Amino acid sequence: MAVIEKDNFKESLWKVCDKLRNNMDPAEYKYVVLGLVFLKYISDKFELKYKELVEEEEGFQEERDEYTGENIFWVPKEARWNEIVKLAKTSKIGL
């Protein structure tokens, strides 16, 4: 049963990738996917630090130096993962 579920998952994931890729050449698609994976990674790290700064209640959560000083990428508000997710199904994505 577990093998069938694993195969179904792979098949579903592949269908989603095909849908996202649309008419893009698969060789070019890897750059899109790797970019999204990287953005998600830096957004997660940024968000952890952001929450930590909010809890400190000193108002430094939007100060770039608070992040770069700890080797965390500064992510502008409009590029944060939660903002991208909000725009994902709109015509404004990518603008």
pLDDT tier, 95 (very low <50, low <70, confident <90, very high otherwise): low
Q: What is the pLDDT of residues 49-76, one digit of tens each?
A: 999 999 999 889 999 999 999 999 999 9
In order of their start, the domains of the chain are 2-87 (1.20.1260.30)
Amino acid letter, residue 80: R
pTM of the model: 0.66
Q: What is the pLDDT of residues 3-46, one digit of tens each?
A: 556 667 778 877 777 777 777 777 777 787 888 889 899 999 99
Cβ-count burial 43-73 (b if 16+ within 10 Å, e if not) = bebbeebbeebeeeeeeebeeeebbeeeebb
CA atoms within 13 Å, Cβ hemisphere of 70: 14
